[in-house]
Structure 1
Amino acid sequence: MTLQPFPADWHTALVLVPHPDDPEYGIGAAVAKWTSEGRRVHYALASRGEAGIEGLAPHVAGPLREREQIRSAGIVGVDDVTFWDFPDSRIRDTPALRARIVDTLDAVAPDVVVTIFSGPEWAPGQPNQRDHIEFATAVTAAYDSLVEPPRWLFENGPGGTHGEVVDGFVDVAVESLAAHERYLSVLDPTTPVYAQARRQVEEATAGRPEFGGRPAVEFILTRTRSTS
């Protein structure tokens, strides 16, 4: 599918994800570009990622991953990071989760909402996590429940409809993902953290022919509200 340019006529974005590091694996370069342009970006995370580091008890892993996420967000210019304390690895599309999403949408009043991919597979043989699917489904349901929702709702994932050109912002996105140092060092102990981060970010910002081969972050438009 040919990507359209990401919308430009907006000021505030809300990034809704289930876990720490979810923004950095996909949209970090786009966020760095947006904040450099003076746009406001808020992060809200359903959990603190307390189940995400093998060998660490949740009461140790959760605060560690929270600190890594706050540091990572700051690198790309995001200083508003909220954690909701839903249970990592057991996030479900519940009325309580939908209500928290609605409350956050009302409080932030964003023009753009970006969330995680809801599809069953990132690619053939690469299944999506249940937390991701359930969370993204809850975001869409919350959006649909609003009388006057934000202008756009996007997911970050394959099969995109829109792209944000990010040349000049790939390196800062690598640094942002690498800030999840303990998480990445346990996830793949044999590969240096910066090498992991570089590989993941370059995969997420591959050059696109629509934009002259320049690196771009891919987004899927799932909802839009007419302003006419």
Structure 2
Amino acid sequence: MTEPKITQLQPLPDDWQRALAVVAHPDDLEYGCSAAIAAWTDAGREVAYVLATRGEAGIDTLDPAVCGPLREREQRASAAAVGVTTVEFLDHRDGVIEYGLALRRDIAAAIRRHRPELVLTLNHRDTWGGVAWNTPDHVAVGRATLDAAADAGNRWIFPELAEQGLEPWNGVRRVAVAGSSSPTHAVDATPGLERAVRSLLEHRTYIEALTKQDPETYVRDFLTASTQGAAERFGGKPAVAFEVFSR
């Protein structure tokens, strides 16, 4: 019997200079795609982060008023580890982000402000591969980011943004979704993997609340497994996989 052919992932096109990553929480990018981001910034590309929340509801033992500023500091240090200096927060409430016009407007404004050719976000589907339920925050932000990539270029959607000096930007060529169960493209994780480990380790307070494992062992094991998971479909190389939607 013939073995089923494995569909290979294509290299993510590199015909861009600026990227904007839009996710719900601190640590979303570090669990998903920071090895790719490290390689891009090393190559001189510009990457900015926009987070919908400060992750203030993410640690049960910390009051949100304490947790939010702490996680913001960890996120900024985490971004710096992979060469990202621009980190913005939209201040939606952690855990109860609502998909809708307000979220689309905020993300469209960020896209107009940063004018990226590539937009990154996290899995917007109901599940992680059909085996684990996704969170409402991830679903809302991922879906709104896909929609806002088009909103940002249409002057008749959210015209108030132009009145605020944010002119339409129709230059987004692709939206790349990390953590998708239907990836189409990938980026070699090898050059950026060690910096990705350091980046995720900056979320030490969150990790120590999440697991009793040694933080570095936990982080290295997780990122090694996730990047190796794409290797079979990417020439045997550890990779960060994305589902890419062209525009």
Q: What's the TM-score once normalised by structure 1's chain length? A: 0.94
Q: Deviations over 1:121-174 (max 9, x none)?
A: 113331111110011111122123233250111111222000001213211111
What residue identity is the alignment partner of 2:112? D
Partner of 2:62: 56
2 CA distance for matches of 1:40 and 1:55?
36
1 CA distance for matches of 2:242 and 2:234?
14
- Once the two structures are superposed, the pairs formed by residues 95-134 of structure 1 within 5 Å of their partners are 95-134=101-140
Q: Deviations over 1:49-106 (max 9, x none)?
A: 0000111000000000000000000000000000111000001112111111111110
- 2:245 is aligned with 1:218: no
Partner of 2:231: 208
2 CA distance for matches of 1:209 and 1:114?
23
Q: Deviations over 1:168-206 (max 9, x none)?
A: 321111111011000100111x20111121122113311
1 CA distance for matches of 2:54 and 2:135?
16
Please, what is the CA RMSD of the aligned residues?
1.2
The alpha carbon displacement at 1:33 in A equals 0.3
Partner of 1:153: 175
SS at match of 1:114: strand
SS at match of 1:16: strand
Structure 1 residues not aligned, in runs of 5+: none
1:174 corresponds to which of 180, 193, 197: 197
Q: Is the 8 A contact 1:16 1:43 kept in 2?
A: yes
Partner of 1:193: 215
Larger Rg: 2
Q: Is the 8 A contact 2:187 2:241 kept in 1?
A: yes
Q: Deviations over 1:12-34 (max 9, x none)?
A: 00000000000000101000000
Partner of 1:79: 85
Q: Is the 8 A contact 1:49 1:65 kept in 2?
A: yes
2 CA distance for matches of 1:69 and 1:76?
11
SS at match of 2:146: helix
Partner of 1:165: 188
Q: Is the 8 A contact 1:160 1:219 kept in 2?
A: yes
The alpha carbon displacement at 1:210 in A equals 4.4
2 CA distance for matches of 1:125 and 1:117?
14
